[in-house]
Amino acid sequence: MQLKPISQQVVAIIGASSGIGRETAIQFASKGAKVVVSARNQLGLNSLVTEIQAFGGEATAITGDVADFERVQAIADYTVEQYGRLDTWVHCAASGILAPFAEITPEEFKRVIDVTLMGQVYGAMAALPYLKQSGRGAMIHISSMEGRRALPLQSPYSTAKHGLEGFLESLRVELQHDQIPISVTSIKPAVINTPFYNHVLTKLGVKPTGLPPYYSPKLVAQAILHTAEHPTRDFIVGDVGRILDLCQKLSPELMDAILVAIGFSGQRTSEPKSAHGQNNLYEPMDGYTQVEGDFQNLTIPSLSDWLVKKLTFK
């Protein structure tokens, strides 16, 4: 399967107002791609488009809640209206709750599934017809290592990411059977230093954190750009992600024991935050539209990603 060089691509990036999506949009645009960015946060999108245009890149924005299929369809339609085609669809949008399962309401659980799983499904539904019209293309879905190994206190998010992995496996085989040259990639980051932990609803009584160490969003964006040119099934980002994948394959029971020991205290900071604190579960959240999160002091390099880049990236 031959994909276009990035400089010749039209790329739609969903969930682009902050974090991985924002960094990905900047990197695509800096390499000459025409970029359409989408999220619920209009101010975040406006600042992103301004940033891209300031260095001479080409970008336009459209708002949309991915839990609404019609809005996701509108993003795909808008991309083709603006640029005549779609070459790569990058779906980053996600939401989360950190709380014991017993404290999560049915409505809250469903909302995470609607955004984090069904949003990805809607994205594929909207993008596939246009990618087929182009004759080739890439669908790049941002999953998580929680799609391989669930974590305590994150049951809705882990459920969504496990569901996403099943969906992508099924879809990939269908496309292969029909000999349709569309690459389907699952990007599986370890813990990444984005504003995600500022955005999530928490019922832990404190601001939550991922289990450190953290890795830079730039590593994930680099993986996304690589897979936009080089068809790839799965791409894990972060040394700990690759170690976690191996340990889960060797002994899920060992991972259970490790997470009993560290998975509860390790996802709590000492900063108070109530369940009524600002979050973006149902509505976009003011601020926090930057790429990096608050955990720069816990962010480390990834040796395995450096090696993969040296061996495979062009």
Provide the residue-wise pLDDT of the chain in tens; the chain has 314 residues. 899 999 999 999 999 999 999 999 999 999 999 999 999 999 999 999 999 999 999 999 999 999 999 999 999 999 999 999 999 999 999 999 999 999 999 999 999 999 999 999 999 999 999 999 999 999 999 999 999 999 999 999 999 999 999 999 999 999 999 999 999 999 999 999 999 999 999 999 999 999 999 999 999 999 999 999 999 999 999 999 999 999 999 999 999 999 999 999 999 999 999 999 999 999 999 888 999 999 999 999 999 999 998 888 76
**Gyration radius from the chain CA atoms:** 18
Say which CATH architecture domain 6-312 belongs to: 3-Layer(aba) Sandwich (3.40)
Residue 148 C-alpha from the chain's centroid: 15
Among candidate residues 157, 214, 215, 288, the one labeled active-site is 157
Cα 296–301–305 angle (5° rounding)? 135
Q: Which residues pair with 214 in a beta bridge?
A: 299
157 a catalytic residue: yes
Q: Helix 69-83 and helix 119-134: axis angle, to 10°? A: 30
Write out the H or E segment, with its range, that includes residue 69: helix 69-83
Q: Which helix (H) or strand (E) holds 34?
A: strand 34-39
User: What integer pLDDT is reported at residue 51 of this predicted model?
Assistant: 98
**What amino acid is encoded at 52 in this protein?**
I
Burial-class residue 94 by CB neighbours within 10 Å (0-12, 13-18, 19+): buried
